[in-house]
Amino acid sequence: MLTTIKQKACYSAALYCLTFLNKTGATLTFCKGKSKEAEIKRINKELANIRSKFKGDKALDGYSKKKYVCKLLFIFLLGHDIDFGHMEAVNLLSSNRYTEKQIGYLFISVLVNSNSELIRLINNAIKNDLASRNPTFMGLALHCIANVGSREMAEAFAGEIPKILVAGDTMDSVKQSAALCLLRLYRTSPDLVPMGDWTSRVVHLLNDQHLGVVTAATSLITTLAQKNPEEFKTSVSLAVSRLSRIVTSASTDLQDYTYYFVPAPWLSVKLLRLLQCYPPPEDPAVRGRLTECLETILNKAQEPPKSKKVQHSNAKNAVLFEAISLIIHHDSEPNLLVRACNQLGQFLQHRETNLRYLALESMCTLASSEFSHEAVKTHIETVINALKTERDVSVRQRAVDLLYAMCDRSNAQQIVAEMLNYLETADYSIREEIVLKVAILAEKYAVDYTWYVDTILNLIRIAGDYVSEEVWYRVIQIVINRDDVQGYAAKTVFEALQAPACHENLVKVGGYILGEFGNLIAGDPRSSPLIQFNLLHSKFHLCSVPTRALLLSTYIKFVNLFPEIKTTIQDVLRSDSQLKNADVELQQRAVEYLRLSTIASTDILATVLEEMPPFPERESSILAKLKKKKGPGTVTDLEEIKKERSSDMNGSAEPASVNASAVSTPSPSADLLGLGAAPLTNSAPPPSSSGSLLVDVFSDSASAVAPLAPGSDDNFASPDLASSEVVSEEPADTVHDADELFHKFVCKNNGVLFENQLLQIGLKSEFRQNLGRMFIFYGNKTSTQFLNFTPTVICSDDLQPSLNLQTKPVDPTVDGGAQVQQVVNIECVSDFMEAPILNIQFRYGGTFQNLSVKLPITLNKFFQPTEMSSQDFFQRWKQLSNPKQEVQNIFKAKHPMDAEITKAKIIGFGSALLEEVDPNPANFVGAGIIHTKTTQIGCLLRLEPNLQAQMYRLTLRTSKEAVSQRLCELLSEQF
Region 9-22 average pLDDT: 54
Does 322 fall in a domain?
no
Mark residue 264 as left, alpha or beta (left: phi above 0; alpha: psi -120 to 50; beta: remaining): left
pTM over cut 0.75: no
- Number of helices (H), then strands (E), belonging to the chain: the values are 39, 16
CA distances from 100 to 63, 90, 111, 183, 586 (A): 7, 11, 17, 27, 79
Q: Which domain holds residue 789?
A: 736-857
Is 543 a known ligand-binding residue?
A: no
At 925 the three-state DSSP class reads: strand
Amino acid type, 601: S
Q: 555, 550, 540, 559: which is closest to 585 by C-alpha?
A: 550
Final residue before a domain boundary, out of 82, 111, 140: 111
The confidence score (pLDDT) of residue 121 equals: 86
The confidence score (pLDDT) of residue 484 equals: 86
CA distances from 930 to 397, 750, 796, 865 (A): 57, 21, 22, 9
Region 214-239 average pLDDT: 91
The confidence score (pLDDT) of residue 271 equals: 94
Does 246 fall in a domain?
no
Distance of CA 459 to the CA centre of its chain: 28
Q: How many Å apart are CA 897 and CA 889, to the nearest integer? A: 17
Instruction: Answer whether 801's CB lies under 8 Å from 829's CB.
Output: yes
Phi then psi for residue 611, to 5 deg, are -60, 145
* CATH code at position 484: 1.25.10.10
Does 795 fall in a domain?
yes
Whole-angstrom Cα Rg for the chain = 36
**Backbone CA torsion sign across 360, 225, 201, 134:** negative
Distance of CA 855 to the CA centre of its chain: 24
Q: How many Å apart are CA 382 and CA 379, to the nearest integer? A: 5
Shared-domain flag, residues 840 and 866: no
Region 604-625 average pLDDT: 75
Sheet with 750-755, side-by-side order of all strands: 750-755, 759-768, 771-780, 819-828, 803-807
330-334, 708-712, 839-843, 877-881: the lowest-pLDDT one:
708-712
Q: How many Å apart are CA 14 and CA 476, to the nearest integer? A: 65
Does 840 fall in a domain?
yes
Phi then psi for residue 934, to 5 deg, are -95, -25
CA distances from 933 to 710, 711, 831, 937 (A): 11, 9, 9, 11
Distance of CA 774 to the CA centre of its chain: 20
Is 884 a known ligand-binding residue?
A: no
Residue ranges with strand state E in 706-834? 750-755, 759-768, 771-780, 786-794, 803-807, 819-828
Shared-domain flag, residues 533 and 602: yes
Q: Is the pLDDT of residue 225 over 50?
A: yes
The confidence score (pLDDT) of residue 688 equals: 35
Mark residue 654 as left, alpha or beta (left: phi above 0; alpha: psi -120 to 50; beta: remaining): beta
Shared-domain flag, residues 79 and 17: yes
Does 837 fall in a domain?
yes
Q: How many Å apart are CA 357 and CA 394, to the nearest integer? A: 8
Q: How many Å apart are CA 291 and CA 287, to the nearest integer? A: 6
**Better pLDDT: 625 or 431:** 431
Q: How many Å apart are CA 733 and CA 755, to the nearest integer? A: 17
DSSP label at 526? G
Element (H, E) at 939: strand 936-946
Q: How many Å apart are CA 431 and CA 464, to the nearest integer? A: 10
The confidence score (pLDDT) of residue 621 equals: 67
Portion of the chain with pLDDT greater than 70, in percent: 83
Final residue before a domain boundary, out of 857, 886, 908: 857
Instruction: Answer whether 148's CB lies under 8 Å from 117's CB.
Output: no
Q: How many Å apart are CA 201 and CA 562, to the nearest integer? A: 83
Instruction: Answer whether 198's CB lies under 8 Å from 179's CB.
Output: no
Q: 864, 854, 974, 881: which is closest to 926 by C-alpha?
A: 864
Does 178 fall in a domain?
no
DSSP collapsed to 3 states, 9-33 = HHHHHHHHHHHHHHHHCCCCCCCCC
Does 482 fall in a domain?
yes
CB-side exposure of 866: number of CA atoms within 13 Å?
A: 20
Q: Is the pLDDT of residue 852 over 50?
A: yes
Region 691-698 average pLDDT: 31
713-756 residue pLDDT tens: 333 333 333 333 333 333 344 444 456 667 778 888 888 888 88
At 224 the three-state DSSP class reads: helix
Shared-domain flag, residues 864 and 839: no
Q: How many Å apart are CA 626 and CA 622, to the nearest integer? A: 6
Q: 831, 857, 867: which is closest to 940 by C-alpha?
A: 867
Q: 141, 194, 135, 200: which is closest to 170 by C-alpha?
A: 135
Query: Burial, 134: exposed, middle or buried (Cβ in 10 Å; 0-12, 13-18, 19+)?
Result: middle
Final residue before a domain boundary, out of 811, 831, 857: 857
Is 466 a known ligand-binding residue?
A: no
Shared-domain flag, residues 771 and 897: no
Region 171-200 average pLDDT: 88
Instruction: Answer whether 773's CB lies under 8 Å from 764's CB.
Output: no
Query: Burial, 55: exposed, middle or buried (Cβ in 10 Å; 0-12, 13-18, 19+)?
Result: exposed
**Backbone CA torsion sign across 908, 914, 916, 917:** negative
Residues across the chain = 975
Shared-domain flag, residues 415 and 466: yes
Shared-domain flag, residues 537 and 415: yes
304-326 residue pLDDT tens: 888 889 899 999 999 999 999 99
The confidence score (pLDDT) of residue 723 equals: 33
Instruction: Answer whether 308's CB lies under 8 Å from 321's CB.
Output: no
Is 71 a known ligand-binding residue?
A: yes
629-681 residue pLDDT tens: 665 444 444 444 333 333 332 333 333 333 333 333 333 333 332 323 333 33
At 844 the three-state DSSP class reads: strand
Does 281 fall in a domain?
no
Is 53 a known ligand-binding residue?
A: yes
Shared-domain flag, residues 552 and 413: yes
* CATH code at position 969: 3.30.310.10
Shared-domain flag, residues 562 and 416: yes
Q: Is the pLDDT of residue 795 over 70?
A: yes
Q: How many Å apart are CA 134 and CA 122, to the nearest integer? A: 18
DSSP label at 472? H
Q: Provide the b/e sequence for 492-514 (b: ≥16 CB within 10 Å).
A: bbbebbeeeebbbbbbbbbbbbb
**Where are the alpha helices (H) located in 544-615, listed in sequence order?**
545-561, 566-574, 576-579, 584-599, 602-608
Q: 399, 450, 445: which is closest to 422 by C-alpha?
A: 399
Q: How many Å apart are CA 128 and CA 126, to the nearest integer? A: 5
Amino acid type, 790: T
Q: How many Å apart are CA 594 and CA 609, to the nearest integer? A: 14
Q: How many Å apart are CA 834 and CA 627, to the nearest integer? A: 40
At 765 the three-state DSSP class reads: strand
Q: Is the pLDDT of residue 961 over 70?
A: yes
The confidence score (pLDDT) of residue 899 equals: 83
Shared-domain flag, residues 795 and 876: no
Query: Burial, 903: exposed, middle or buried (Cβ in 10 Å; 0-12, 13-18, 19+)?
Result: middle
Q: What is the domain count for the chain?
A: 4
Region 194-204 average pLDDT: 84
553-567 residue pLDDT tens: 999 999 988 999 999
Is 357 a known ligand-binding residue?
A: no
Q: 508, 511, 517: which is closest to 484 by C-alpha?
A: 517
Amino acid type, 493: V
Is 65 a known ligand-binding residue?
A: no
Q: Provide the b/e sequence for 799-833 (b: ≥16 CB within 10 Å).
A: bbebbbbbbeebeeebebbbbbbbbbbbbbeebbe
Shared-domain flag, residues 71 and 20: yes
Facing residues of 852 across strands? 735, 839
574-588 residue pLDDT tens: 888 888 888 899 999
* CATH code at position 793: 2.60.40.1230
Q: 213, 216, 211: which is closest to 243 by C-alpha?
A: 211
Shared-domain flag, residues 413 and 523: yes
Instruction: Answer whether 417's CB lies under 8 Å from 459's CB.
Output: no
Phi then psi for residue 40, to 5 deg, are -60, -40
128-140 residue pLDDT tens: 999 988 999 999 9
